[in-house]
Amino acid sequence: MASSLTLLPAPEKRRPLAIGLLAVLVLGVYALVLHPFVIKHVQLNEQIADQHRALEQFRVLVGQRELYATALQDIDSYQAGNTYYLTETAQNLAAASLQRTVNNAVQRLSDESGCQVISLQNVQSRKEELFPKVTVKVRMRCRMDALRDLLYDLEGSAPLMFIDNVNVYRQRARRRRGKIVTPSHLDVRFDLSAYMRVKS
């Protein structure tokens, strides 16, 4: 018994040792029990703050709803009045409209132009685009000055039309009654494209 009593610290050192052991015990309980709870609470507070910020952003957007609705109505009324797009809603009808436009443009040229449409062929677009594209392949015979006027007329009219892949071939000279005759007409091929309005 006497030896076990000698292992105890002196009476004046017991109090600081007891306070130290109590502090270690309190820190251990905090680390094992309270600290995970406090960390979880802090994380939940951060999530709640994030949700409040998102809610405020949505409230601001809801407050601007009337502004966006008015702007959308303005855009719709502008789109309804512009003539940049084909008015037809089906691909085949729009292609027929483009063909009619080419024929009308050729008829508007003078008789001396000698322009003649040889063929018009619809081309189905395989690419997905924001606005559906309608393309017609045109083959015709025409003189150079009349061709210039025709292309200007097509690209300058409404709806907006675009001319691509223009190929112009000069016809070969021929012998007629012993004379070499050079034709004044050119063989012309091009793609005429326009866009349909997006269905809302």
| DSSP β-bridge partners for residue 196 | 86
Q: How far apart are CA 191 and CA 136, in angstroms?
A: 6
For 11, 17, 82, 125, the CA distances from 196, given in Å and listed in that order, are 99, 89, 12, 12
pLDDT tens track for 44-81: 999 999 999 999 999 988 888 898 889 888 887 877 77
pLDDT of 184 higher than 80: no
Kindly report the pTM of this predicted structure.
Answer: 0.59
Q: Which of 117, 120, 122 is nearest to 106 (CA)?
A: 117
> What value does the mean pLDDT take over residues 11-36?
81
Q: Which residue has the higher pLDDT, 123 or 113?
A: 123
pLDDT tens track for 133-155: 999 999 998 888 888 888 888 88
Contact 161, 154 (CB under 8 A): yes
The CATH fold of domain 91-195: Alpha-Beta Plaits (3.30.70)
Q: Which residue has the higher pLDDT, 175 or 98?
A: 98
pLDDT averaged over the chain? Answer: 83
Question: Which of 33-47, 101-115, 170-184 has the lowest average pLDDT?
Answer: 170-184
pLDDT of 175 higher than 80: no
Q: How far apart are CA 186 and CA 179, in angstroms?
A: 20
Q: How far apart are CA 48 and CA 45, in angstroms?
A: 5
pLDDT of residue 54: 93
Number of neighbours of residue 106 by Cβ within 10 angstroms? 19
pLDDT of residue 53: 94
Contact 118, 140 (CB under 8 A): yes
pLDDT tens track for 124-134: 877 777 788 99
pLDDT tens track for 85-112: 888 888 889 999 999 999 988 888 766 6
